Amino acid sequence: MSKQNVYDNDAFFENFQSSRNNDVNFNDCIETPILFGMLPDLHGKTILDIGCGMGQHAKRYSDMGADSVLGIDISAKMLEYAKEHSSGSNILYRQMAMEEIDTIDKTFDLVTSSLVFDYVEDFAGLMRKIHNLMKKDAEFVFSMSHPIVTAWDGVYDRYTRTETGERLYANLRNYCKEGLRKVDWVVNGYECYHRTISSLINGLISAGFVIEECQEAHLSDEMRAQYPALFGGTIHRPEFIFFRCRKNNLQNQ
């Protein structure tokens, strides 16, 4: 099974860091507010953050009253930044591929993840590993690129446009063909895995999760009008999908 580490590519890391340093970006304006709006009260919680990246979420969890936060990521560059800029007395960062989380020897009240499950080949298998790391009645909140987005194979433009470049509608191609996608995005041969919405739902159910909430990315008309070049396409398709799940304790009885 391949374990992807594109964030240790210098060009990709620098592009990502530059984007996050700009206050107006997809993560901070769309993804993070929705994800945090789905979180439970964090006071006293033990939290696992899968694909913690630069540690922004882990630091916020700590500030929001978490008892402890374990952030894991495969990228040495990301973890170096996290340890320097997002440290805390109750935060521990470990370099680890998400496929290896079954080696963690503790359980958690809450598991979170932000936009990293696009890189896992065996989604259903990872969901089972996460379920096994959760305490009774623990919650699981995560985001992914929306399957409408990951269906893009790089052959055609993401949008059909007018002669002046205005987006008319999003193009959807080979949605029902699941598997690895290789496209040129920031770096040549960027890889992610495409799967349908039903595959995501069934992967969660088969692992033993009860799905309590699902959201798709949304943005205000005002923000779209203010930043049309960046956010103009958000009226045509949701960039991200979000799930809030609870451990199904009856499954293991």
Q: How far is CA 108 from CA 9, 78, 85, 105, 246, in A?
A: 31, 23, 24, 10, 12
CATH level 3 topology of 6-146+195-248? Rossmann fold (3.40.50)
Residue 127 three-state SS: helix
Query: For 47-100, what is each residue's pLDDT tens digit?
Result: 999 999 999 999 999 999 999 999 999 999 999 999 999 999 999 999 999 999
Domain residues of the chain, as ranges?
Answer: 6-146+195-248
Instruction: State mean pLDDT over 208-234.
Output: 95
Tokens of 115: 């936009």
Name which residue leads in pLDDT, 147 or 188: 147
pTM of the model: 0.90
Share of the chain above pLDDT 70, in %: 88
What value does the mean pLDDT take over residues 217-244?
A: 94
Mean pLDDT of 231-250: 92
Q: What is the pLDDT of residue 84?
A: 94
Residue range 110-156, pLDDT digits in tens: 999 999 999 999 999 999 999 999 999 999 999 999 999 999 888 88
Tell me the β-bridge partners of 111.
48, 140
Strands in 209-216's sheet, in edge-to-edge order, are 91-95, 68-73, 46-50, 108-114, 134-145, 240-247, 209-216
Nearest Cα neighbor of 77 from 93, 57, 58 is 93
pLDDT of 155: 85
- Residue 12: pLDDT over 90: no
**Which residue is associated with the tokens 């990521």?**
73
pLDDT of residue 8: 55
CA 144/CA 196 separation, integer angstroms: 12
Task: Give the mean model confidence (pLDDT) for residues 6-11.
Answer: 56
| pLDDT score of 64 | 97
| Cβ pair 110, 141 in contact under 8 A | yes
- Quick check: helix, strand or coil at residue 210? strand
Predicted pLDDT of residue 1: 45
pLDDT tens, residue by residue, 166-175: 999 999 999 9
Ramachandran area for residue 46 (φ above 0: left; ψ -120 to 50: alpha; else beta): beta
Of the candidates 119, 58, 132, 120, the one whose C-alpha atom is nearest the C-alpha of residue 88 is 58
Q: What is the mean pLDDT of the chain?
A: 90
The pLDDT of residue 6: 56
pLDDT, average across residues 234-245 = 96
Contact 207, 131 (CB under 8 A): yes
Predicted confidence band of residue 253 (pLDDT cuts 50, 70, 90): very low
Q: Which residues contact 14 (CB under 8 A, 6 or more apart)?
A: none
Instruction: Return the pLDDT at 153.
Output: 83
